[in-house]
Amino acid sequence: MPMKRIATGAALAAGGLAVTALAFAPSAAAVTPTTATVTASCGIFGGGTATLTATQSGTSATLTLTSSAITTPLALSANSIASTLTMANSTGANRVFSGTVNPAMAAGSPVTVGPLPGTVASGDSLDFYKGSLKMVIFGVTVTCTSSAAQSPGPFVF
């Protein structure tokens, strides 16, 4: 009988420790909103509505820009656009997301760049407005900017 009490007591203690560990574990960070709409002007690529999609894992985040209004004038192979997406941060320094991630695109196709990796801090409030997207394609730099805040609002990390 005493052995059963010891085993039961040990199980209860282990369960209590597990619950305590969960209570003190850091919560998973989640960006809100996960998508936002911007109106961008991109020179020879055109301009119009674009969608930004954000993901977050701790201090690592990615942003992807897709637009059927912004098109590529040339056929582009996968991972051939060097992209730098600078997001204005109302709580501190601007955040930069960069990389060479894009699908293959035929001439006249909608533009997609990303997911572009970057680093964020808790509380960052990022908006494409007053930021920019620079794409280097065949040595030519195309810069996209916006004249209005993104909707429904900035990405908050």
pTM exceeds 0.85: no
pLDDT at 7 over 90: no
pLDDT given for residue 2 in this prediction:
52
The pLDDT tens digits of the residues spanning 68-112 come to 988 888 999 999 999 999 999 999 999 999 999 999 999 999 999
Note the pLDDT of residue 14.
40
pLDDT score for 67: 94
Q: Look-up: residue for tokens 């098109």? A: 71
Q: Among 95, 81, 151, 103, which residue's Cα sits nearest to residue 124?
A: 95
Higher-confidence position of 15 and 60: 60
